[in-house]
Amino acid sequence: MTSLLSVVLAATPDPDFDPNTVTPGVVGFLVFFLIALATLLLCLDVVRRIRRTTYRAEIKARLDAEVAARDADPSAPTTPSDKPE
């Protein structure tokens, strides 16, 4: 097994380029930029959804508190929308 590995490594030609100057180029930049943009858009969407859920929970709690206060005090004046027709 070791001899096979040494044969493969010995048969590998030396590179004609300097490994320190190889860059991903424009394609690599574009791919990285698109991944970063997609990540940013996903983060903004998640923040928007969390904020919407929080606001809905706050409004529901406020409405529940108003209903509980109205039911607890029967002498409180009712609004025109609360009066039965």
Please state the separation of Cα 69 from the chain's center in Å: 39
Can you give the C-alpha Rg of the chain in angstroms? Answer: 34
- pLDDT tens, 3-23? 777 776 666 666 676 777 778
Mean of the pLDDT values across residues 62-82? 78
pLDDT score for 29: 94
What pTM does this model have? 0.53
Q: Which amino acid is at 10?
A: A
pLDDT score for 30: 96
- pLDDT tens, 21-70? 778 889 999 999 999 999 999 999 999 999 999 999 999 999 999 999 98
Q: Domain locations in the chain?
A: 39-71
Residue 76: partners with Cβ closer than 8 Å, 6 or more residues away: 69, 70
Q: Which amino acid is at 19?
A: P
pLDDT score for 72: 87
